[in-house]
Amino acid sequence: MADAPATGGGFPAQDYPTIDPTSFDVVLCGTGLPESVLAAACAAAGKTVLHVETSGAVPEPSRRFTADLVGPRLLYCADEAVDLLLRSGGSHHVEFKSVEGGTLLYWGGDLYPVPDSRQAIFKDTTLQLREKNLLFRFFKLVQAHIAASAAGAAAAGEGEASGRLSDEDLDLPFVEFLKRQNLSPKMRAVVLYAIAMADYDQDGVESCERLLTTREGVKTIALYSSSIGRFANAEGAFIYPMYGHGELPQAFCRCAAVKGALYVLRMPATALLVDEEKKRYVGIRLASGQDILCQQLILDPSYEIPSLDMPCNAPVSNLPRKVARGICIISSSVKQDSSNVLVVFPPKSLEDEQITAVRVLQLSSNLAVCPPGMFMAYLSTPCTDAFTGKKCINKAIDVLFSTKVSNDLEDHLEKNSEENKESVKPTLLWSCVYVQEIIQGTSGTALSCPMPDENMDYRSILESTKKLFTDICPNEEFLPRNSAPKYASDDDSNSAEALYST
């Protein structure tokens, strides 16, 4: 048996305790969300699991500011991530608040509320009567298709007779379908970028990197619509975890621990153990010098796995996807009397060269992510290069915020009086703009988990995570409903309201 160096090690030797046993079914390195969900799923499936935290130290959390480096990110009230929390018992360890300020669309130099429901359309004073009627008709058409599909109306035939859209319509580019519904450019932008969450300019059908079909658009609208009203006290379609998204991995780790997974903190892997005869990874060498063997090794994306000249199931791309992100601390809300708000800049709304949507999520102190009187704002947009991505993020920052910056964040509290409340733009107190490469999960003798991508939600990450679980446990259900541990206070372990904090 040989060992291969693993990037991410290099921590000084300490008096580490010996881990017993020394062999596990599954060993996971890294405590990101995919690794934590996998740990919970494998433990629920009866596997012996060792989960090691790879960082060299675990700092005490600061409750003044909590920054999510892969934001903005939200959960739909009705998406699978919420269901997994309920099924696994993670709902006992995390609370959420709604994005009660709704979504704003930047259009023609102004911010407009997104009419995402019949009630919102009716109340919207910025829409003309014709726009309201066409939007009403469109949502009615889509809802009829969703209802017919859910009822299994395929056998009754296609088209208007069954309420379902035809396959021809479903296979159309979504933007073409919207044009056939006579929606105005602004209303198309609302549907495409603020509800269906398209990232790339859909009007450039031939040049668009990711063209949304009607089938895909309707699927996201169905998720969006079913999210509105799922929680009695939640306003809108989106929720956000108290203290930030770092709470989600912790919730799944606790569930895994209840099911018997062993956790070791501050214990990075310094080498991967290789069976040279079988050409496969069989374990890790820890910073303590102890060797741990396993049937399946799972690593977070920060590890560069040396090639064993074995075929890999993951496609290879010479041009890794990138996403530009920004984090801002601001003095007031972009929407008066609202704490948490999503802002969408459609392609070409900031400049003609803009080919991707920019999304901004503003969060307040009611989520315990910043001190009272301040707000956090997260921005992101997919990009092909760092210069273009950062340029888009900085333009959005310039549009939303006044760049008058104080040297001391505390100074603004004295000035946050009537003058600030009446100002058009919040004051930018601090900002950071950066670019991340998106690393895909890979299959092989060592599995690599995906890192958070450019999407606002976790659907694609969970899909990749489920595929990895299938590689490990091909005959097991992924976090079945009976996998949640029983708590003495349980009245209903699947109660969705248990997640939501008023």
CATH number at residue 212: 1.10.405.10
Two tokens, residue 279: 């050409």
Q: Specify whether 199 is located in the same domain as 343.
A: yes
Q: Specify whether 374 is located in the same domain as 354.
A: yes
387 inside domain: yes
Q: Specify whether 258 is located in the same domain as 234.
A: no
**65-69, 302-306, 329-333, 446-450: least confidently modelled range:** 302-306
H or E segment and range at residue 436: strand 428-437
Give residue-wise pLDDT tens across range 201-225.
Answer: 999 766 678 899 999 999 999 999 9
Q: Which of 344, 460, 294, 324 shows the shortest CA–CA distance to 386?
A: 324
277 inside domain: yes
Q: Specify whether 237 is located in the same domain as 249.
A: no
Residue 157 has pLDDT above 60, yes or no: no
Q: Specify whether 129 is located in the same domain as 257.
A: no
Q: Specify whether 232 is located in the same domain as 172.
A: yes
CA dihedral 280→283→286→288, nearest 10 degrees, is -120
Give residue-wise pLDDT tens across range 456-480.
Answer: 999 999 999 999 999 999 999 999 8
Give the per-residue pLDDT at 268: 85
pLDDT band at 304 (very low <50, low <70, confident <90, very high): confident
pTM: 0.87
Q: Specify whether 250 is located in the same domain as 237.
A: no
Give residue-wise pLDDT tens across range 393-446.
Answer: 999 999 999 986 555 555 555 555 554 454 579 999 999 999 998 877 666 678
Residue range 59-73: average pLDDT?
78
Q: What is the largest CA-CA distance in the chain?
A: 74
Q: Specify whether 330 is located in the same domain as 359.
A: yes
Are the C-beta atoms of 202 and 174 separated by less than 8 Å?
A: yes
Give the per-residue pLDDT at 60: 52
18 inside domain: no
Give the per-residue pLDDT at 154: 47
Q: Specify whether 101 is located in the same domain as 198.
A: yes
Give residue-wise pLDDT tens across range 345-355.
Answer: 999 999 999 99
397 inside domain: yes
For the chain, what is the domain count? 2
Q: Three-state SS for 110?
A: strand
**7-16, 165-174, 290-299: least confidently modelled range:** 7-16
Beta-ladder partners of 430: 329
Give residue-wise pLDDT tens across range 250-267.
Answer: 999 999 999 999 999 888
pLDDT band at 235 (very low <50, low <70, confident <90, very high): confident
Residues ≥6 apart with Cβ < 8 Å to 207: none
pLDDT band at 326 (very low <50, low <70, confident <90, very high): very high
Mean pLDDT of the chain: 85
Q: Specify whether 199 is located in the same domain as 104.
A: yes
pLDDT band at 62 (very low <50, low <70, confident <90, very high): low
Residue range 291-295: average pLDDT?
96
Residue 5 has pLDDT above 90, yes or no: no
Domain that holds residue 134: 96-148+163-241+321-405+424-436
488 inside domain: no
Q: Specify whether 102 is located in the same domain as 183.
A: yes
Residue 39 has pLDDT above 60, yes or no: yes
Q: Specify whether 271 is located in the same domain as 379.
A: no
How far apart are alpha carbons 191 and 177 in whole angstroms? Answer: 11
Pairing relationship of beta strands 291-299 and 23-29 according to DSSP bridges: parallel
499 inside domain: no
Give the per-residue pLDDT at 492: 46
Tell me whether residue 379 is exposed, middle or buried, using C-beta atoms within 10 angstroms of its C-beta: 0 to 12, 13 to 18, 19 or more. Answer: buried
Give the per-residue pLDDT at 16: 76
First to last CA, the chain: 55
CATH number at residue 463: 3.50.50.60
**% pLDDT > 70, the chain:** 81
Beta-ladder partners of 447: 298
Residue 307 has pLDDT above 90, yes or no: no
11 inside domain: no
pLDDT band at 9 (very low <50, low <70, confident <90, very high): very low
**% pLDDT > 90, the chain:** 64
154 inside domain: no
Burial 141-176 (b: 16+ CB within 10 A, else e): bbbbbbebbeeebeeeebeeebbbbeeebbebbbbe
